Every structure is written in structure tokens, then in C-alpha cells.
A and B are shown apart, each in its own frame.
Chain A
Amino acid sequence: MRSPSSSERRAGAGSTATATTGWRRLLRALALALAAASVATGCGHVGVKAHQRELLADRIMRFDADPQERAADEHVLANREGAIGGTGTSGGGCGCN
């Protein structure tokens, strides 16, 4: 049996360096999204008004319009791929919360 390389040892130990990089990437992406939203807010043009949401409120515009169907799909893929998460939140832009 050969001895593991340094990169292999890092992976096995759950490298904090890799973890930190992952955190940074995620936070960077979230910061960009929030910055985009903030800029839009500052410009007074965040998005559409309530009376303009007829198309957005339609069922076919909702992300994961059927949450149970989505749960079943994720259940299938989570057992067949090494990468889970990052699949989003169901709902849409109807502003009907």
C-alpha cells in the first residue's frame, strides 16, 4: 500500500484551508447578489410593481412549482451524485407572500 500524498491527507482530514476557501466563495457570491439588489434599491428600480406581475405570478414562472415533485427529484439525484445542495428555493415573484 503506498502512502498518501499531501493533498490526499488534506482531503481526508477535512482541510480547513479548503473549507475556508469554500466559505469565502459562498460569501462572495452572496455579497455580489446582495450588492446587486442594493444597487437596484438605491436607483429606485428594484423590480416590478405589483400591477406588473401578471406574468410572474403564473404557475409556469414559479421555480419548482410543485415542491413535492422537487423533493422527490432531489431525493433521486442525491443518491446518485456526489454533489447535493444549491438547488434553490421554490416559489416565485408574484409578491403574494
Chain B
Amino acid sequence: MQLRGPRAAVAVAIVIIVVGVGVGVGVGPAGGARAWAGETSAAQHLTVFREPSSSNAGVTVIHPQTDVDTTLGSAVKLAAGYSVDIVSGATPAIFGVDAVSSATKFSDTRQQVRGSLGYTRPVADVTVGYSYGWEHDYRSHALTVATRSDFADHALTLDLSFTHNFDRVCDRNNDAAVGNPLERLALVKSDHCFEGDPLIATRHLNIDSLEPSLTWAVTPRLLVQGGGTVQIVDGFQSNPYRRVELGSAGRTPQESLPSLRQRYAVFGRGAYAVPGIRGSLQGMLRVYRDTWAVQAYSAELDFHEYLTQFLILSALARIHSQVGAVFYRDARGYRLNGPVGQYWTGDRELSTMQNTLFGGKLAYLRVPEAGARPFFNEIEVGAKFEGLFYELASSMAPNADRRRAWIGQLAISLRF
């Protein structure tokens, strides 16, 4: 059952989007308030994620996303957005040796509204943003402050961003199992979450993220960027529904994860223009560590080329390799050896694994010719398709029945 709060938020989101588009149309070329109006843009993206399973229905996520922004005067920028995750499929409630056969169907809808206010000057800008996300068993409030400053005749750009999340997670009331995680029971369904039911508990999760980056226009053809992320996650981080089979006696307590996680990532990337073919090549390397001992490396290569004056072809290849959390074991390991201390997980993202992603995109980008007076300044229509392939370290790893995923995206954006 949906709560009244989310419904009200949806209404607010729709109003924001409608007002945003209305303001945009009003201040566009046909409007009468051009003296104070800048540019307005609206974008609609539809992403479909499909991860088939060899044993059950797999997972499907449909993700529509709407964003609008407008500039008031020469310095103020307003932005608003709304997105939805419509998730359905089958997933095992118990991570164990027979996990796949015990998969149960599920469906949920996650929604998010967001807005931001920016103040822009010729060499710097600052933006303050807020987002609210909700689903039956999760609530998230996030505040973001971001700045961008140009130095050295715009050759260097320093970006700083800080975000704090105030999240709440619905969980089974496990007061009777305090101090003994083996006795913890999993949440069965999301009914009565956040309603004061004594059998249901609300857990808190606070996330602080700091992201600095520096961009440098090195030569007329080369652009480089470096930076990192520091994130501190403090609170309930387990999947409240997931149980993990431990030992040979068949105990299946709720997943148990540490309440504190500190994550660190650094990256470097570059973009190089190849004017001879009207193309560009972009590359990225990233290193990640956290206090759960997850270590990861990611590398990405992108190629973009104008096929015609208005048509851009992009190709993407990405590889990600990670070492799992120190308390991770596969299903056989948990059955034969039991847990690692007081923590256990059935989460694929905490396992040792590698994935590769290949994709392509075609974008039609149209800017009016000189002398033309259409209602828009720029229009872009894009279609993207990607394949994601997992290589797990064990056939008894989480989601071992789901070895690949397909991602499709359609996008249209308009500036006027």
C-alpha cells in the first residue's frame, strides 16, 4: 500500500515539472519576458535493464526519468527531475546451496523527486540540491552542495561536491536478538513499514560523500580530469529480506553486515580529439578500496565520431574487477565453514567477480542553421544498447544463474 506522503510528493514532482516546462515555454522565443529569461532544457530518458536467469524470471527494471532546468536572468538556474524504478522478477530469499530453486517473485516501485538551485558567475558557480526517494521499505532524503570554479583563464576547473543522505530502512523488529545476529529474523514483506507496527523496525542509514575533481585543458586536443570520492556509510546496510544459510544444520539468519563502511575511490581520465575523422577518444581508470576490504579496478574506453553533420556514433567498452569483502563466502563456503565472525552476506556486489560491458549509441543532434527561427536551440535524440557480462569466482556465488544483462536506453532532450 502506498503512503500518502509519496503520493503528495508525486503531485509536487508533476507540478514542478509542469511549471518548469511552462516557465521554459513562457521564457522561450515566443514568450514575452525575454529580458530576464535564459535558456531552458527538458530531457526524457527511458532505460530498460534486463538480467535474464537460467533458472527463473530474472530481473527487469524499467527506469523513466524526466528532467527540466531553466536559467533566470544571467546567474540563477533552477532544475527539477523525477524518476521511477519499476522493478520485477525473481530472487532467492535465502542465499544457500539451493538458492536458485527457492527464488520467489517480487515487484516494487521506487520513485525519486529532485530539485536544485544554482548561482552562476563567469568563473564560478554554486548549486544546492535536494532529492527525496521512496519505496515501500525505504526512504531517502539527500542534500547536496556543489561548487565549480575556473582558474588560469578557464584552463583549470575545480569541482567540489558534498552530499549527505538521511535514509531510513524498514526491517524486522529483532530486539529479541540483540547481541546474537544468528537469531535475527528477516523481513518477510514490506506491509506496514514506517507505520508504527511493533513487529516492524525502522533503521537509520547516514551517508556522507565528498567528491573533488580537477579538469585541465592541457592542449587544444587534450582534456584530462582527476579526482576521487570519499564516502562514509553509517547505519543498517543489510538486505532486510535476505537470509543466508550457515553451517550444515540449516540455520538461515538474516544477512548481517557491519554498520560502518568507509569507501575511497580515485580516478583519472582523458579525452583526446581526433579532428581528422571528426572524432574523439576517451579513457578512464579508477581504483577503489573500502574498509570491508573490497578492492576494485575499473577501466573504460569510449570512442565518438560524427558520421554526418548531425549524427554521432559512440562505442563503449568497460571492464570492472573486484575482490570481495573479507566476510564474503560463496554458498558452499558458508555451509561447510560457517560465517566469518558475526558477518555474512548473499550479495553479489560484495563477492569476488569481474564484469565487462560493451555498448554503442547513436545520437541525432540538431542545431538550427543560421537565419532559421525554430522554437528550439538544440534537439537531441539518442538510442543506446549495452551488454553486461559477469564472471563470478564460483558457481555457488550469489546470482550465479544471472550471467549477463542487457541495457537499452532511449533519450530525447530539447533546449529552447
Query: Do A and B interact with each other, yes or no?
Result: yes
Interface residues of A (CB under 8 A from B): 1-4, 7-9, 11-15, 18-19, 22-23, 25-26, 29-30, 33-34, 36-37, 40-41, 46-50, 52-56, 58-63, 66, 68-69, 71-72, 75-77, 79-89, 91-93, 95-97
CB-CB under 8 A from B400, the residues of chain A are none
User: Please, how many angstroms separate the alpha-carbon atoms of A14 and B97 in the complex?
Assistant: 29
A-B contacts counted at CB < 8 A amount to: 270
Out of A46, A75, A81, A86, which one reaches B156, CB within 8 Å? Answer: A46
B25 close to chain A: CB less than 8 A: no
Query: Is B250 on the interface with A (CB-CB < 8 A)?
Result: no
CB distance from A61 to the nearest CB of B (A): 5
Closest CB of chain B to A29's CB: distance in Å? 5
Instruction: Determine whether B258 belongs to the interface, using a CB cutoff of 8 Å to chain A.
Output: yes
Q: Cβ of B286 < 8 Å from any Cβ of A?
A: yes
A66-B382, A68-B67, A72-B63 in contact; A29/B266 too (CB < 8 A)? yes
Assess whether B320 is in contact with A81, with CB atoms less than 8 Å apart. yes
Query: Cβ of B242 < 8 Å from any Cβ of A?
Result: no
Complex contact A48–B291 (CB within 8 A): no
Residue in A closest to B263 when the chains form the complex, CB atoms: A85
**In the bound complex, CA of A54 to CA of B340 (Å):** 57
Q: Which residues of B contact A19 (CB under 8 A)?
A: 262, 291
Q: Is the CB of B45 within 8 A of A85?
A: no
Min Cβ gap A50→B in Å is: 7
Q: Which residue of B lies closest to A12 (CB)?
A: B258
Residues of B within 8 A of A81 (CB): 296, 320, 322, 349, 355
CB atoms of A87 and B292 under 8 A apart: no
| Complex contacts, B348 vs chain A, CB 8 Å | 80
Asked if B343 is at the interface of the complex by the 8 Å CB criterion, the answer is yes
Q: Specify which of A30, A84, A92 is in contact with B263 (CB 8 Å cutoff).
A: A84
A-B pairs, top 7 by smallest CB distance, nearest first, are: A86-B265, A85-B229, A47-B155, A95-B154, A4-B341, A93-B217, A83-B296
Main secondary structure of the interface of B (DSSP, over half): strand
Let me know if B320 and A86 touch, CB within 8 A: no
25 contacts between A and B (CB under 8 A): A4-B341, A11-B325, A14-B261, A19-B262, A19-B291, A22-B290, A26-B228, A37-B214, A55-B220, A59-B312, A60-B304, A61-B280, A66-B380, A75-B85, A76-B49, A82-B296, A82-B349, A83-B286, A83-B288, A83-B320, A84-B229, A84-B288, A86-B228, A86-B265, A91-B215
Q: Is B247 in contact with chain A by the CB < 8 A criterion? A: yes
Closest chain A CB from B351 CB (angstroms): 8
Partner-A contacts on B (CB < 8 A): 43, 45, 47, 49, 61, 63, 65, 67, 81, 85, 120, 122-125, 148, 150-157, 159, 161, 209, 211-221, 223, 225-231, 246-247, 258, 260-267, 269, 271, 273, 275, 279-280, 282, 284, 286-294, 296, 298, 304-306, 312, 320, 322, 324-327, 337-343, 347-351, 355, 365, 380, 382, 384, 388, 405, 407, 409, 411, 413
Q: Do the beta carbons of A85 and B223 come within 8 Å of each other?
A: no
Are A14 and B273 within 8 A (Cβ)? no
Closest to B152 in A: A46
Residues in B neighbouring A37, C-beta threshold 8 A: 151-152, 156, 214, 216
Cα separation A46 to B152 with both chains bound (whole Å) = 7
Q: A12's contact among B67, B81, B284, B342, by CB below 8 Å, is which?
A: B342
Instruction: Please determine whether A86 and B266 come into contact, CB atoms closer than 8 angstroms.
Output: yes
Output the nearest chain B residue to A92 by Cβ-Cβ distance: B223
- Of the candidates B65, B225, B337, the one whose C-beta lies within 8 Å of that of A72 is B65
Whether B125 and A60, one on each chain, are in contact in the complex, defined by CB atoms closer than 8 angstroms, is: no
Task: Give the distance to chain A from B206, nearest Cβ to Cβ, in Å.
Answer: 14
Q: When chains A and B are docked, how far (Å) is the Cα of A84 from the Cα of B263?
A: 8
4 extra A-B contacts, CB within 8 A, seeds A30-B214, A56-B220, A80-B349: A4-B340, A54-B220, A61-B280, A84-B229
**CB-CB < 8 A to A33: which residues of B?**
214, 226-227
Cβ A14 vs Cβ B258 within 8 A: yes
User: Would you give the shortest CB distance from B332 to chain A, in whole angstroms?
Assistant: 15
In the complex, A46 Cα to B155 Cα: how many Å?
Answer: 6
Q: Which residues from chain B contact A83 at a C-beta distance below 8 Å?
A: 263, 265, 286, 288, 290, 294, 296, 298, 320, 322
Q: Which interface residue of A7, A11, A50, A59 has the most chain B CB atoms within 10 A? A: A11
